[in-house]
Amino acid sequence: MKKTLTRIALALALVLALGMAAVAETAADGVYHGASFGRNGDIEVDVTLTDGALSDIAVTAHTETDNIGTVAVEELPGMIVEAQSLAIDGLSGATFTSNGIKRAVENALTEAGIDVEPLKEAPEKVTGQSYDVEADVVVVGGGGAGLAAAVSALQSGAESVVVVEKTDILGGDTNVNGGIYNTPDAEMQDAVEMTDGQKSLVEAAIAEAPVSDEHAALIEAVKADWDDYLASGNTGIFDSANWFALQTWNGGDKVAKLDLVENMANNAYAGYEWLKSLGQEFKPTISQGPGSLFPRTHDTPSGIGAEFINTYIDYLGANYVDQVEFYFGVTADALELTDGVCNTVKGTDADGNTYTFTAKGGVVLATGGFAGNVDMRVEYCQSEKWPDLGPNVGCTGVASDTGDGILMAKAIGANLIDMDQIQLLHTCSPKYGTTEDNSDKGKSVDSIIFVNKAGERFVAEDERRDTICLAVLEQEDALFYTVESYDGYGDKTLDELHSNNFVSYTDEIARDNMFIGDTIEDLAAAMGADPEKLRASIEGYNASVDAGATTDEFGRKTFINKLENGPFIAVPRKPSAHHTMGGVEINVNTEVLDTEGNAIPGLYAAGEVTGGIHGGNRLGGNAIVDTVVNGKTAGEKAAQLAK
């Protein structure tokens, strides 16, 4: 279904035939209240009846996920009013929230004395239609990489861009990203004292024996940057594009294509400046995101990746509203070549309607990875790294992470690379498999420790994600807790503090998503841990901070903030499939390569659908950099073909 851009997503133009007036003619006019559980908590609505018909639905309270549940909150009430029916499809990608809204409206109508069953009778839908759509650039996937490509294509002169999105929600995995972006930033890093532990990381990396000529050249470049830093007398954090690239490549087990890694690192700061030019804001401090390995992380003010999506949408709406069209609920099924050039995308919607999208310029593939496709995970996980990636392992991403774009590209000859490289993330909800219900401090290792169910530390909290996940999988129930103190929260109450999906700590504790205790012993009792072991874990870490330690028995190198003052909080976490580093092979121009190493004319790719960038382990905070740097390039290149 084609939709036209508004501030957050699209205004739905649904025309449904089922009327309500006859059903509700005996109900008294007025406002009726209803509530039901959504994704994160209760959704409350006020339903207004006028002359026996629905005249307004207002969502008065909710805690739904930004840019996922909030889209349903903004759009579904109007859809119900327009249809005068509860028999409407919820928004694909926001099913829990959609169902919660419909149940809340149903409860309000029941309170009004209305028999709601006739309102659930589905109207006939338009089926079997065929649509032909042409644009300068066709982008497949409306996540971070796809929207970056769409913006870039229009900035580069494309007169029209079509974005094909299989769900009803813009943003993809970027919506559930932690809102972190890595890049060297001298101005911000100079203001933070560099620790001995951080210095040792640099010195160890440049002392390593190179495994290739490319590696040797990069080491020499970092050595030169390091020497310049030491000669300058600067005591702030050292960083450079070369050091960022070397850390990324080393952190990915030296598996990635080094030219792609260097391209990302060299353009990271320009991408950061580009985001700011679109209107994106960042916190005025530098941090070290989980799994990022170094303090070069830039955080969105809210700490969520949905902000990046809002920035793209707001920018498009303000500057290119008449030049971009979105087709939601349309699944791309196949890519097609014309005279050897990829310029056609075939798709279908849930009602069996078919679509043919033709690009005058290029096609940008930005469909994400395959972390949510259990069959693909099992098929390609051929290494001995992970004991099991079957259905018992959750997925942090959105439901659309099913590898569609990878399979479509493979079908026209694209080469796949690093498909066995699958990343797990440790900081995930045991209930949902997602990154939700995490504490305000949970994204940074500055003020937390990890303990198992017994209350014992077992791994360096600032280690690589895969190292942490393997250690967690060896613990009882493959579960651990992030433990923090109230230090830094000031006078904020539990009602004022919110988890990363905007649920108050009070509600999270009530749902057993967090545990709290005024003392360490109280916390141990709440979480079922051994109080002596938990105290030893906390006090041992605090002693390392006091001693100015550069490492400890687990190899941790970050010792900044002590855990001193209660109440103490523990958040249960468990690993989930997070990022698939493999995908279609591209070059630095984001051209998709075939099995012979040649570019497939007209086809570009960016984001998690690609392989070769992150190697065997993606560093935390690099995913958004990948989508921005390569999405921007893909849009530029695709637009150039239309000229």
Q: Output the average pLDDT for the chain.
A: 91
Which tokens belong to 606? 């960016």
**Is 296 an active-site residue?**
no
Residue 475 domain-assigned? Answer: yes
Residue 392 domain-assigned? Answer: no
Indicate the residue among 69, 91, 120 that finishes a domain.
120
| Residues paired with residue 450 on neighbouring β-strands, in sequence order | 482
Residue 529 domain-assigned? Answer: yes
Top-confidence residue, 6 or 46: 46
What is the structure's pLDDT at 118? 83
Position 382 confidence tier, pLDDT thresholds 50, 70, 90: low
The residue whose two tokens read 């070290």 is 288
Q: Please state, in angstroms and as integers, the Cα–Cα distance from residue 481 to each residue in 333, 460, 506, 524, 573, following that order.
A: 42, 13, 18, 11, 6
Residue 108 pLDDT > 50: yes
Residue 530 domain-assigned? Answer: yes
Omega of the bond prior to 572 within 30 degrees of 0, cis?
Answer: no
Residue 579 pLDDT > 70: yes
Percent of the chain exceeding pLDDT 90 equals: 71
Q: Which CATH number does the domain housing residue 512 bear?
A: 3.90.700.10
What is the structure's pLDDT at 400? 84
- What are φ and ψ of residue 129, in 5° steps? -90, 155
Instruction: Kindly give the pairing relationship between strand 137-140 and strand 161-165.
Output: parallel
Instruction: Kindly give the pairing relationship between strand 53-61 and strand 130-135.
Output: unpaired
What is the structure's pLDDT at 25? 53
The pTM of the full predicted model, rounded to 2 decimals, is 0.81
Rounded to an integer, the average pLDDT of 447-453 is 97
CA distance 163 to 565: 50
What is the structure's pLDDT at 15? 27
Specify the range with the lowest mean pLDDT, choosing from 13-17, 37-41, 57-61, 425-429.
Answer: 13-17
Q: Which CATH number does the domain housing residue 61 bear?
A: 3.90.1010
Position 435 confidence tier, pLDDT thresholds 50, 70, 90: confident
Rounded to an integer, the average pLDDT of 469-488 is 94
356 touches 343 (CB < 8 A): no
554 touches 458 (CB < 8 A): yes
Sign of CA dihedral 79, 83, 86, 88: negative
Residue 627 pLDDT > 50: yes
Position 443 confidence tier, pLDDT thresholds 50, 70, 90: low
CA dihedral 203, 207, 213, 215 (to 10 degrees): -40
| pLDDT tens-digit map of 543-560 | 999 999 999 999 999 999
Top-confidence residue, 355 or 303: 355
Residue 290 pLDDT > 90: no
Residue 527 domain-assigned? Answer: yes
Could you tell me which residues come within 8 angstroms of residue 144 by beta carbon, excluding any fewer than 6 positions away?
Answer: 171, 172, 173, 174, 177, 305, 308, 309, 312, 607, 624, 627, 628, 631
What is the structure's pLDDT at 116? 85
Residue 195 domain-assigned? Answer: no
What is the structure's pLDDT at 14? 27
Residue 15 domain-assigned? Answer: yes
Residue 557 domain-assigned? Answer: yes
602: enclosing H helix or E strand: strand 599-605
What is the structure's pLDDT at 384? 74
Indicate the residue among 519, 544, 577 that finishes a domain.
577
Helix, strand, coil percentages in the chain from 3-state DSSP, rounded to 5: 35, 25, 45
Q: Residue 525: helix, strand or coil by DSSP?
A: helix
Q: Which of 439, 399, 501, 602 is nearest to 41 (CA)?
A: 501
Based on the structure, what is the number of domains in the chain?
A: 2
Indicate the residue among 88, 120, 152 that finishes a domain.
120
39, 296, 457, 465: the active-site residue: 465
Residue 9 pLDDT > 80: no
What is the structure's pLDDT at 37? 82
Top-confidence residue, 215 or 498: 215
What is the structure's pLDDT at 23? 44
Q: Which domain holds residue 71?
A: 2-120
